[in-house]
Structures are given as C-alpha cells and as structure tokens.
Amino acid sequence: MKGRESGMPDISQWEAFFNTSCILDRLDLLESPGDVVEFGCGYGIFTLPAAQRIRGTVFALEIETELVLETSRKVAESGLENVLVERRDFVASGCGRPDGSIGYAMLFNILHIEDPVGLLREAHRALKPGGKVGIIHWRNDIPTPRGPSFEIRPGPVDCRRWGEEAGLQFVRDEELCCCSWHWGMVMQRP
C-alpha cells in the first residue's frame, strides 16, 4: 500500500532538492557497512551513490512500478552490479531481508506514513547489531517547496521517539547544511 501523500514530482525537480553525496556523508554512509536496504528508492537518486560507496548490495525497494523501472534503468546504465531493485510493498510484507543481515537502512522522506513505528521496527529487525539507520525528512519548521502536509510531517523529536519505541538507539541529529529543506538523524541497532 502506497503511503499517504507520497506522490513524486518530475525527476529533474526531485533531484534539485538534494545533495546526495553530502547527505550520505553526514548520515554515516561513508564506509562499507555491508548490505544496505533503501525503503522507498523513488527515482534512485540515493541508490547509485550508496552502491558506489559500499562493498555489499543495495536492496532498493519501491512500490510504484514506474519508479522501479526508472531506477532499474539507471542501475543498468551505470554498470553497477551491487544493486537489486525490487517492486515491494515493504509496509505490508517487510523488506524481505533476513533478521540481522543489513548494515545500514535508508529511511528518506518516508516516515510520514501511517505506521512509522512499524517501519522502524522492520528496519531494526533487519539490521545487524551496530547497524545504522539514516533518516531524512522535510523540515516542519519552515515552508518547503514539496513534502507532505504539515499535519503529518514528522520532526526530529517524533522520529527519535518512534525509533526508540522500535528498539533503536539515538546516535545524533544531523544538520543538513547541504540540503536546506531537510533535517537528518542517525540511529543504531544496539
């Protein structure tokens, strides 16, 4: 089931909102954490940069067929062999990875869904001990050019509380000076 208010603009507009390398750096996807799961890969703008950084596999999950096709096309054109793009309803059926098998989970602009704690629990389940979760979301303290309505847009306090409820440990908030419309956070499986 597609999350509420999860529509995507055209790709050129979407790409203009992010400095992907800076975000991945600031959210600790600097070294090879093993395998990575990306919950909601969209157009794949984080998928390829993540795959270029790691030795493991990026499992890029997305519910919308056209976005799966777009990301798959980009992966094929890049020549990267460590990406698996999958059409999957991870909210209903999980990420499909074994317990404790993932080193890093990307939860980017997705925790406005109906059950954010459930999604964070799924990330916790799949993470190996010490594995990290990178979270970004649209800021809720200023007007932004996109993003879900303010009524459902989570802030850092919400996401930290939800992550801790899901069993994750707070590492830090991260100011994304390279991406003025978003805030970031790192959490970890103890």
Q: What is the pLDDT of residues 73-116, one digit of tens each?
A: 999 999 999 999 999 999 999 999 999 999 999 999 999 999 99
Is the pLDDT assigned to residue 141 strictly greater than 60? Answer: yes
Q: How far is CA 171 from CA 24, 118, 121, 168, in A?
A: 15, 20, 17, 9
Are 173 and 141 in contact, with CB atoms under 8 Å apart? no
Q: What is the mean pLDDT of the chain?
A: 92
Specify the range with the lowest mean pLDDT, choosing from 5-14, 73-82, 121-130, 154-163.
5-14
* Residue 14, pLDDT above cutoff 80: no
Options 3.30.450.150, 3.40.50.2000, 3.40.50.150, 3.90.650.10; which CATH number does 11-188 get?
3.40.50.150
Predicted pLDDT at 168: 98
Burial of 171 by CB count in 10 Å (0-12 exposed, 13-18 middle, 19+ buried)? middle
Residue 146: predicted pLDDT? 84
- Residue in the structure block whose two tokens are 């990290």: 132
Sorted by where each begins, the domain ranges of the chain are 11-188
For residues 168 and 160, give the distance between their C-alpha atoms in angstroms, rounded to a whole number.
Answer: 9
* CA–CA separation, 126 and 122 (whole Å): 6
Q: Return the pLDDT at 17.
A: 78
Q: How many Cβ atoms sit within 10 Å of the Cβ of residue 175?
A: 12
Q: What is the pLDDT of residues 145-172, one digit of tens each?
A: 888 888 999 999 999 999 999 999 999 9
Using CA atoms, how far residue 174 sits from 32, 40, 105, 111, 120, in Å, is 20, 21, 16, 16, 18
Mean pLDDT, rounded, for 34-53: 96
